[in-house]
Amino acid sequence: MITRVSSLTRETLIGEGQPTVLIGERLNPAGKKGLTHALRSGNLEAVRKEAEAQARAGADILDISVSTFGVEEESLLPQVVKTVMAAVDTPLCLDSHNPAALEAALQVYKGKALINSVTGAEQSLARILPLVKAFGAGVVGLTQDDHGISADADRRLAVAHHIVERAAALGIPREDIVIDCLVLAVGADAKAGLATLEAIRKVRAELGVNVTLGASNISFGLPGRDVLNGAFVAMAIAAGATSLIVDVAKVLPAVLAADLLLGRDQRARRYIDAFRQHPRL
């Protein structure tokens, strides 16, 4: 099953047989003082630079969030989308819980966007899925609902089923849904990694849809985060994750290695090219 996401001039394919798709997470003010300040003051030069840096680092899609206290998402999100579209040809993932902001951004976006995100909660399904349908977009479905994020993989799978069914009822094709199996910190719960890996395997086996993850959450609060993140993305890709929402520059080596190890990089061409271009990978 292939999920297509596109800009005006470039298409990214998520799915089996394709290299793992990297969704750049850095255009998001959460935890970033500089970007937060830039967004509040409407200085979009910082946005342009970050978009270009992630595109250079190898991002296949850029996630765009402006959600932070003190901004008007409905006007700022489309502005930021226009700025990024002018800077790079990378397809975009529009990231907001605010349907009005998403709609305004979808109206200016040129291509087939990914919307991040819908959850299994009734209010979210009712407000987000009609936008997905109306704009022919793809959507990231988070495996959480009114009860929050379950520690149990089967419960996350059940939420994924629910999202896929509700989307189908509106005529949204299954290939336009990318399920986020959710990652909690393994430092807080020793079973957190296992729960996500099991959820990935089950969602892939039962629903066949593409799967993404905010992989770096796994190492929150621990030392050696790059080592942990690298091992986790290798395991997650082997379990069936077909895309990742990550700091691309940091996880690229592990992802290239994982794709090669899983037979998705004939004659190791992508891997060797990357090392030629960046010998310090």
How far is Cα 246 from Cα 241, in angstroms, rounded to an integer? 13
Which of 49, 110, 147, 191 touches a copy of itself (CB under 8 A)?
A: 191
Angle at 246 between CA 244 and CA 252, to 5 degrees: 85
Contact between residue 187 and residue 222 where contact means Cβ atoms under 8 Å apart: yes
Which of 51, 113, 186, 245 touches a copy of itself (CB under 8 A)?
A: 186
Determine, following the binding rule CB under 8 A, whether residue 111 of this chain makes contact with a copy of itself. Answer: no
Q: Looking at 61-69, 71-79, 122-130, 182-190, which segment touches a copy of itself (CB under 8 A)?
A: 182-190
Determine, following the binding rule CB under 8 A, whether residue 277 of this chain makes contact with a copy of itself. Answer: no
Close Cβ partners of 147 (under 8 Å, ≥ 6 residues apart) = none
Q: How far is the CB of 123 from a copy of itself (least distance, A)?
A: 34
How far is Cα 121 from Cα 278, in angstroms, rounded to an integer? 44
Q: Which of residues 144-173 bind a copy of itself (CB under 8 A)?
A: none
How far is Cα 183 from Cα 197, in angstroms, rounded to an integer? 9
How far is Cα 15 from Cα 182, in angstroms, rounded to an integer? 18
Q: How far is the CB of 205 from a copy of itself (least distance, A)?
A: 14
- 117 upstream amide cis, omega within 30 of 0: yes
Determine, following the binding rule CB under 8 A, whether residue 268 of this chain makes contact with a copy of itself. Answer: yes
Determine, following the binding rule CB under 8 A, whether residue 254 of this chain makes contact with a copy of itself. Answer: yes
Determine, following the binding rule CB under 8 A, whether residue 5 of this chain makes contact with a copy of itself. Answer: no
Phi-psi domain of 268 (left: phi exceeds 0; alpha: psi -120 through 50; beta: other): left
Structure tokens at 90: 């990378």
> Locate tokens 């409905």: which residue?
74
Q: Looking at 20-28, 39-47, 82-90, 272-280, which segment touches a copy of itself (CB under 8 A)?
A: 272-280
Determine, following the binding rule CB under 8 A, whether residue 235 of this chain makes contact with a copy of itself. Answer: yes
Determine, following the binding rule CB under 8 A, whether residue 220 of this chain makes contact with a copy of itself. Answer: no
Q: How many CB atoms neighbour CB 25 within 10 A?
A: 22
Q: Looking at 8-16, 118-126, 156-164, 259-267, which segment touches a copy of itself (CB under 8 A)?
A: 259-267
Determine, following the binding rule CB under 8 A, whether residue 222 of this chain makes contact with a copy of itself. Answer: yes
Binding site for a copy of itself (CB under 8 A): 186-187, 190-191, 193-194, 197, 218, 222-224, 227-228, 230-232, 234-235, 238-239, 253-254, 256-258, 260-263, 265-268, 271-272, 275, 279, 281
